[in-house]
C-alpha cells in the first residue's frame, strides 16, 4: 500500500484554543485546502454580473482566513485561480486579477498583525506584472508570520504540477544525479510546488460539485473530503466550524486496518 507522506515541521507558534467552539485543538487538521466554487452561480441567481460574485466571495475568504487563525489551523490553502481559468473571457480574467491585487493590498497589514505568513503556489510568472509585484511584496511583508501560513494557489493545476515535477526529475536523471531507485514518494513530493507544505488533511469543496477540478492531485491522496452545496459567497464561519467538527469525527486509517 502507498505510504503516508511524512508531515512537515509545524509552524513555531501556539495555536489559538479551539475548544472555544467545542473543537478539540489536538485533533484539528494541520492543513485545510479549499476549492472555492460557486461565485458565478451565486451572481447568476441574483441577476448580477459574475464579477459581483467574485467580489462577494472575497468576503468569505476573509472569514475563513480569520477563523482558521482563530481556531489554530496551521496551513490554509485556497484554490484561487486555476490554469484552466485562463480560458475564461478576458474581461472576467482582468476583473479577477484586479480583485486579487486589491485583496493583497488591503489584507496584508491584517495578515502581518495576526502573525500570518502568505505564500503562493503555481505559475506565478503568468500573472500580470502588477499582480506579481503586489504578491511578492505581500509575501515579503508577512514572511515572519509564525501562527499560520496562508497559501494561494494561483495559475495552479495538479497536472501541470506533476508534469513540472517529472521534467525536473528527468533532467536530474539525465545528468546522472538521480537513479530510478532513488525516485520515491517523498522525492516526488519534494519537487512539487507544495514541497514545503504537509499534505492537506481536509479538502473542502463548495457549490456541491462532485469533482476535484485538477487540484493537488498528488497531495490529496489521503485527504478527508467534504462537499457542501453552499455556494462560496454564502460560506460562513458557522458552516466552516461545523465542517471542522465533522472532520474530528472521521477515522483516518491511511489504508491501514485499525488495531
Q: Determine phi and psi for 150, rounding to 5 degrees.
A: -100, 120
Which residue, 120, 132, 157, is CA-closest to 35? 157
Is 161 annotated in the active site?
no
DSSP state, residue 92:
H
Which residue, 218, 189, 215, is CA-closest to 204? 215
147, 116 Cβ separation under 8 angstroms:
yes
Out of 22, 24, 37, 251, the active site residue is 37
What nine digits make up the cell of 66? Answer: 480569520
Out of 85, 114, 214, 236, the active site residue is 85
Long-range contacts (CB closer than 8 Å, 24 or more residues apart) made by 7-13? 7/198, 8/196, 8/197, 8/198, 10/74, 11/74, 11/75, 11/117, 11/146, 11/147, 11/148, 11/149, 12/146, 13/115, 13/146, 13/147, 13/148
Helix (H, G, I), strand (E, B) or coil at 35: strand
Is 39 annotated in the active site?
no
The CA distance from 185 to 170, in Å, is 15
The CA distance from 234 to 64, in Å, is 12
What is each CA distance from 93 to 83, 88, 145, in whole angstroms? 12, 7, 30
Q: Point out the residues that are catalytic.
A: 37, 85
Amino acid at each position: 500500500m502507498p505510504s503516508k507522506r511524512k508531515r512537515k515541521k509545524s509552524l513555531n507558534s501556539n495555536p489559538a484554543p479551539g475548544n472555544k467552539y467545542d473543537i478539540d485543538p489536538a485533533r484539528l487538521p494541520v492543513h485545510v485546502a479549499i476549492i472555492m466554487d460557486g461565485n458565478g452561480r451565486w451572481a447568476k441567481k441574483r441577476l448580477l454580473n459574475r464579477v459581483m460574485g467574485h467580489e462577494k466571495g472575497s468576503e468569505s475568504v476573509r472569514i475563513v482566513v480569520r477563523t482558521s487563525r482563530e481556531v489554530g489551523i496551521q496551513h490554509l490553502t485556497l484554490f484561487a485561480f486555476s490554469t484552466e481559468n485562463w480560458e475564461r473571457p478576458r474581461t472576467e480574467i482582468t476583473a479577477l486579477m484586479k480583485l486579487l491585487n486589491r485583496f493583497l493590498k488591503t489584507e496584508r497589514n491584517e495578515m502581518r498583525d495576526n502573525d500570518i505568513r502568505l505564500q503562493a503556489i503555481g505559475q506565478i510568472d503568468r500573472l500580470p506584472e502588477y499582480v506579481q509585484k503586489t504578491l511578492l511584496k505581500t509575501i515579503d511583508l508577512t514572511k515572519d508570520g509564525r501562527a499560520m501560513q496562508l497559501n494561494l494557489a494561483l495559475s495552479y493545476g495538479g497536472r501541470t504540477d506533476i508534469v513540472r515535477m517529472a521534467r525536473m526529475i528527468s533532467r536530474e536523471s539525465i545528468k546522472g544525479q538521480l537513479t530510478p531507485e532513488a525516485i520515491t514518494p517523498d522525492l516526488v513530493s519534494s519537487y512539487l510546488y507544495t514541497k514545503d507544505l504537509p499534505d492537506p488533511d481536509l479538502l473542502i469543496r463548495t457549490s456541491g460539485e462532485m469533482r476535484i477540478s485538477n487540484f493537488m492531485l498528488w497531495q490529496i491522496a489521503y485527504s478527508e473530503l467534504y462537499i457542501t452545496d453552499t455556494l462560496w459567497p454564502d460560506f460562513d464561519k458557522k458552516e466552516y466550524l461545523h465542517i471542522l467538527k465533522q472532520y474530528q469525527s472521521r477515522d483516518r486509517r491511511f489504508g491501514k486496518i485499525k488495531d
